[in-house]
Amino acid sequence: MISLNQEPFRPVQPDGGGTILSELLRLHAAKQLDDLQLLNYYKEVPLSAVAKDLRFCENVLYCRTSEAQARAVEFTNHTIIKSRNLQQPIYASAQYDTDTREVALFGFSYVDVPSERRESIRVRMHIPISVLIESGTRQFKGRLIDLSLDGCAIDIANHELQDSKACSYLNIDTSLKTNQEKIKVRVMGRLLKADQHNRLSRCIYIFMHDKGSEGPIGKLIALRQGEIIRELR
């Protein structure tokens, strides 16, 4: 089961005693951080790249990485450090220096990364897309916020949910900003939960695919994922 609005990671243990820093220093001295990677989430899309040219200075780990990864770090001011020799993934505050092209990592803590267990990629839409919802004999509109092959998040006016059914047909008809091809799909969705915010509810739907729905949704996700990655280049 998916949770489309969960955080991509959550802190487990802060490095109050310097244990994580000691582990990083030990592994670096033993040349066991050659596979170190940085992981970031940009508009829900996971981005990962190798960290190279590692060096420590005053309890700060400096490294270089790919241009796209550096841009993601610059936008988020944090990253996840991963290596086969680490006990578990490490969260780090991060700053990117455009002059030296180095990423400075500090403020370490162990983290759990539940988003890595998602069955499919989730993407945030560039502009919320209007979705026509067929709920029994009623029809009303919502705004598609993000999308995966398993389900989606839609903002719906609170009053529209009062008589809505547990299962509804969701009609998506759109083209992306860099692609003129129209993608049109009708898929049944089961309402998993709805969180109210003022006059809107953020509704999480789980898809119940038929033969004609999975392909177009997968194509829409792939196109949107490509757009997001190109934003970082």
Kindly report, residue by residue over 128-172, the tens digit of the pLDDT: 789 999 998 999 999 999 999 999 999 999 989 887 888 999 999
Q: Are residues 62 and 84 in the same domain?
A: yes
Mean pLDDT on 64-89: 92
Same domain, 130 and 109: no
Domain finish residue from 51, 85, 117: 117
Q: Identify which has the larger pLDDT, 7 or 88.
A: 88
- What SS3 string covers the chain? CCCCCCCCCEEEEECCCCHHHHHHHHHHHCCCCCCCEEEEEECCEEEEEECEEEEEECCEEEEECCHHHHHHHHHHCEEEEECCCCCCCEEEEEEEECCCCEEEEEEEEEEECHHHHCCCCEEEEEEEEEEEEEECCEEEEEEEEEEECCEEEEEEEHHHHCCCCCEEEEEEEECCCCCCCCEEEEEEEEEEEEEEECCEEEEEEEEECCCCCHHHHHHHHHHHHHHHHHHCC
Q: Are 157 and 227 in the same domain?
A: yes
Q: Residue 11 — pLDDT band, cuts 50, 70, 90?
A: low
C-alpha distances out from residue 192 to 153, 172, 204, Å: 10, 19, 5
Average pLDDT, whole number, for the chain? 86
Report pLDDT for 6: 44
Model-wide pTM > 0.75: no
Domains held by the chain: number: 2
CATH of the domain at 224: 2.40.10.220
- The verdict on 22 and 92 lying in the same domain is yes
Final residue of a structural domain among 60, 84, 117 = 117
In a domain, residue 97? The reply is yes
Give a yes or no: residue 111 inside a domain. yes
CATH of the domain at 88: 2.30.110
More confident residue, 180 or 52: 52
Name the residue range of residue 209's domain.
Answer: 122-231
What is the pLDDT, as a whole number, of residue 55? 95
Domain membership flag for residue 3? no
The token pair at 11 is 């802190």
More confident residue, 179 or 20: 20
Looking at the structure, tell me whether residues 92 and 175 fall in a common domain: no
Residue 22 has pLDDT above 50, yes or no: yes
Same domain for 93 and 131? no
In tens, the pLDDT along 88-144 reads 899 999 999 999 999 999 999 988 876 554 456 788 888 778 999 999 899 999 999
Q: Angle 50-8-91 (CA atoms, 0-180°, nearest 5)?
A: 55
Residue range 60-87: mean pLDDT, rounded: 93
Residue 128 has what pLDDT? 77
Question: Which amino acid type is present at position 199?
Answer: R
Shared domain for 222 and 145, answered yes or no, is yes
In the listed set 67, 85, 117, which residue is the last one of a domain according to the structure? 117
49 or 165, which is more confident: 49
Please count the other Cβ atoms lying within 10 Å of the Cβ belonging to residue 187: 21
Query: In the predicted model, is pLDDT for residue 53 greater than 90?
Result: yes
The reply to whether 73 falls in a domain is yes
Instruction: State whether 164 and 107 are in the same domain.
Output: no
Q: Residue 90 and residue 197: Cα distance in Å, rounded?
A: 33
Are 190 and 100 in a shared domain? no
- Span 38-55, average pLDDT: 90
Does 5 reside within a domain? no
Which of 64-68, 78-82, 121-125, 207-211 is least confident?
121-125
